[in-house]
Structure 1
């Protein structure tokens, strides 16, 4: 009998699973073990010898300590399964907890996701898990690797076509930032009373004024022309550092002015590159702060001074 090469999926959730995650997985050519509740999940994982993708649909249910404790236990068990990828669907209210407890290179975090996001995450996670498993079982290189990459490319094309059929025509999820509320809500800053020297370090008022200036563009031109989450988050963290403030993950996602799942991906990438660093909350272990690395902060300070030296204007200094 031929070996079943389909990715194996276990689904856990609070909601009625709309859209039906099991049907989506089957449509992608994956094999669903079962659908369980969060209370049942830790025991189910202990009984599982191998798993490619664990899907946690936490939307509408991650509101109490008991559920959070069960989730932490389940994630610990999941880590014992080699190559298992984690896909987490959750509401914006749970973003700080989910990031602190579940974030990692093998995790895909989807905050208030649209259907295309869900299908893509299922497809890519299953494919990555199977490819990692195959690579671990083979010491063959050269032509064999080339053949495997060709097969992987073909599988990606097939999944892309399936995704297009499943989600064709659906709009992407909008940003969770209220249209009537700008992403940065700092206090008003008075105009400077004196001349600012080009070589002097910036203060938080100048950087926050610059952020507000950036947001003003959206009043006059389509806001989707200006998506630049990395720079928006860098400026927000720089202003917070200058002011001696800490920034939560949820606050930083708001500053990014993009859908939260996109912001989380950027936070992960910038953390991996050493530009951001994660700092656990010493009071609440289920929350984490994000801050600039020292090198990144030094680079931004040098940039600000170079702007002044070239005749540019950052914004009014804080009074």
Structure 2
């Protein structure tokens, strides 16, 4: 009986990140996208996977544009209701931390992305596409996949 009661109380407590994850997934599920819009997001995901495979096969940096990889990562995450942090974006870029931060700085200066503190954990910084960046990626992906 004691175990069951403690288990129930533990199940009622949720971490802030778990609550945010559920809220993000819920938001993504509520998006009423057309089939064409879903195909564009799926195409972006496949394009990103292909770019990662290509980067693994070729010498480092030969045919890689980390800014484009970052933009694609942000687009897919945002369309699926996810959140990306600076550290995740740096890791997905395949560049050194300093080079990745310079790219993030340039993308932000161009008005394509924005950074802001995570309200649940001030040590982390959230990155997302601004409207200008989202429209640019969407326009390009429509040209590729439609």
Same fold (TM over 0.5): yes
**Aligned 8 A contact 2:75 2:137 in 1:** yes
**Quick one: which of 89, 92, 95 aligns to 1:258?**
95
Comparing both structures, which one devotes a greater share of its residues to helix?
A: 2
Kindly state the Cα deviation for residue 306 of structure 1 after the two structures are TM-superposed.
Answer: 1.2
Alignment of 1:34-49 (within 5 A): none
- Residue 145 (structure 2) pairs with residue 308 (structure 1): yes
SS of residue paired to 1:286: strand
Select the structure with the greater relative contact order (CA < 8 A; seq sep ≥ 6).
2
1:214 aligned to 2:18? no
Which among 59, 63, 82 is matched to residue 245 of structure 1?
82
Out of 124, 127, 135, which is 1:290 matched to?
Answer: 127
2:127 alignment partner, SS class: strand
Structure number with bigger Rg:
1
Give the secondary-structure state (helix, strand or coil) at the position aligned to 2:62.
Answer: helix
Q: Gaps spanning 5+ residues in structure 2: where?
A: 1-34
In structure 1, what is the Cα distance between the partners aligned to 2:63 and 2:77? 22
Distance 1:286 1:221 in 2: 35
Question: Paired residue for 1:122?
Answer: none
Pairwise mapping of residues 124-273 of structure 1 onto structure 2 (< 5 A)?
200-201=36-37, 202-273=39-110
CA contact 1:277–1:293 (8 Å) conserved in 2: yes
Across the aligned residues of Structure 1 and Structure 2, the Cα RMSD in angstroms comes to 1.7
Cα distance in structure 2, aligned partners of 1:222 and 1:212: 17
**Is the partner of 2:104 in helix, strand or coil?**
helix
The answer on whether the counterparts of 1:203 and 1:239 sit within 8 Å (CA) in structure 2 is no
Shift of 1:219: 4.0
**Moved >4 Å (runs of 4+):** none
Q: How many residues align?
A: 111
**Offset of residue 291 of structure 1:** 0.4
